[in-house]
């Protein structure tokens, strides 16, 4: 894959002070706007395209922060991070999903061996990570999309408030259940992507990777008839299950993001553990037409190419499809990075890549 150029993502002072621009974990295009999220907050950020005379996007600016706690209830309250790892935009809704992961404490430089051992034994659960939020979008005063608590009959709602998170749904799954007590960076459960097509919601897992096979979880959430501020996972047809699993042979890589492209699904694939690469973009053709749990062999998937990565930096975490509406003469991907290299940092924000698939 060829990096054609870079565009600047410009953030307001508060978000730069919180280092959101250096912790980007998700991106989704929405007309002239870009939705992004960092994994150290419980917020979603909206940026707006800046175009040149030819209509080609050269930057995204006009930053606005949306606090999830202003729109939906969060299990641990408004101040704990939600570790947002995936965003989706479909049919007038914005979706945001947390990592659903446990975390093992890091060893810090200069710590004694005793303290390092103690930290490596400490596993932490943060309840805000275990949410899936669906937010109605309405036109704001500036005509741009804005998440709201209520828009007519549509209500902001969340899954994961009362023992009904995605992790709870799969607790007894023979493949995934054994990994729920394992921290994310140890090949435990780690959600890192979401894509929505109609009533189908695909959840991509960075981990676990099962003998080289990555996993997607498919659910069909809807508003709880007894409480429209909550989502419930509807049952599938004859089998009555509340979720399906799909296994993808990504050659040992996990899912780092998902992005719909028509009826296809683009998969950003990268290491499941604390490694820097390799990173690939893979196409699952016709994913939205599959109506049964799938096992996708390597021959069933098309590798579009590899993305650049650094050593301990420039970790590709999100992809979005750009097209003629962005002044492009063909399909392009916008790629955002966690732990960006110093060369990506600008006075106003950070540089993302525009890539030719």
State pLDDT tens for residues 144-179: 999 999 999 999 999 999 899 999 999 999 999 999
- Per-residue model confidence (pLDDT) at position 139: 96
Residue 327 has pLDDT above 80, yes or no: no
State pLDDT tens for residues 88-127: 999 999 999 999 999 999 899 999 999 999 999 999 999 9
Percent of all residues in the chain with a pLDDT value above 90, rounded to a whole number: 87
Tokens 């420039």 belong to which residue? 314
- Per-residue model confidence (pLDDT) at position 325: 76
Between vectors from CA 317 to CA 234 and to CA 310, what angle results, nearest 5°? 155
Residue 331 has pLDDT above 80, yes or no: yes
Compute the average pLDDT of residues 324-346.
89
Residue 330 has pLDDT above 90, yes or no: no
- Per-residue model confidence (pLDDT) at position 61: 97
User: 289, 348, 256: which is closest to 39 by C-alpha?
Assistant: 256
Residue 199 has pLDDT above 80, yes or no: yes
Q: Which residues pair with 219 in a beta bridge?
A: 201
Determine the structural domain holding residue 168 and report its residue range: 2-356
- Per-residue model confidence (pLDDT) at position 275: 80
Compute the average pLDDT of residues 81-87.
95
State pLDDT tens for residues 34-80: 999 998 889 999 999 999 988 889 999 999 999 999 999 999 998 89
Residues in the chain, overall count:
357
Residue 320 has pLDDT above 80, yes or no: yes
**Number of structural domains the chain divides into:** 1
Computed over every residue of the chain, the mean pLDDT equals: 94
Q: Which pLDDT band, with edges at 50, 70 and 90, does 279 fall under?
A: very high
In CATH, what number is assigned to the domain containing residue 90?
2.115.10
Report helix, strand or coil for 55. coil
Compute the average pLDDT of residues 326-349.
91
DSSP letter assigned to residue 109: T
State pLDDT tens for residues 230-269: 999 999 877 789 999 999 999 999 999 999 999 999 999 9
Residue 276 has pLDDT above 90, yes or no: no
Whole-model pTM: value is 0.95
Q: Quick check: 156 and 94 in contact, CB under 8 A? A: no
Contacts with 197 (C-beta within 8 Å, 6 or more apart), sequence order: 90, 260, 263, 287, 288
Compute the average pLDDT of residues 303-311.
92
């Amino acid at each position: 894959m060829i990096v054609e150029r870079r565009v600047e993502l410009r953030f307001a002072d508060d978000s730069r002070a919180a280092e959101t621009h250096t912790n980007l974990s998700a991106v989704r295009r929405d007309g002239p706007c870009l939705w992004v999220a960092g994994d150290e907050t419980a917020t979603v950020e909206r940026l707006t395209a800046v175009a040149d005379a030819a209509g080609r996007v050269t930057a995204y600016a006009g930053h606005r922060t949306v606090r999830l706690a202003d729109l939906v209830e969060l299990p641990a309250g408004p101040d704990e991070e939600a570790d947002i790892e995936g965003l989706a935009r479909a049919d007038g809704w914005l979706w945001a999903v947390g990592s659903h992961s446990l975390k093992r404490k890091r060893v810090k430089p200069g710590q004694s061996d005793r303290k390092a051992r103690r930290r490596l034994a400490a596993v932490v659960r943060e309840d805000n990570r275990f949410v899936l939020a669906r937010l109605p979008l309405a036109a704001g005063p500036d005509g741009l999309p804005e998440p709201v608590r209520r828009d007519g009959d549509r209500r902001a709602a969340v899954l994961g408030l009362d023992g009904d998170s995605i992790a709870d749904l799969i607790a007894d799954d023979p493949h995934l259940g054994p990994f729920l007590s394992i921290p994310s960076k140890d090949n435990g459960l780690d959600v890192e992507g979401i894509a929505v097509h109609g009533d189908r919601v695909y959840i991509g897992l960075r981990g676990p990777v099962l003998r080289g096979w990555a996993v997607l979880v498919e659910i069909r959430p809807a508003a709880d008839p007894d409480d429209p501020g909550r989502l419930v996972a509807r049952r599938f047809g004859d089998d009555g299950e509340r979720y399906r699993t799909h296994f993808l042979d990504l050659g040992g890589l996990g899912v780092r993001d998902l992005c719909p492209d028509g009826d296809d699904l683009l998969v950003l694939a990268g290491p499941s553990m604390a490694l820097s690469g390799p990173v690939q973009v893979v196409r699952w053709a016709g994913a939205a037409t599959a109506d049964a749990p799938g096992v996708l062999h390597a021959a069933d998937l098309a590798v579009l190419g590899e993305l650049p990565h650094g050593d301990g930096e420039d970790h590709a975490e999100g992809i979005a499809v750009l097209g003629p509406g962005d002044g492009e003469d063909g399909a392009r991907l916008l790629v955002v990075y966690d732990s960006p290299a110093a060369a990506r940092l600008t006075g106003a924000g950070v540089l993302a890549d525009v890539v030719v698939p």
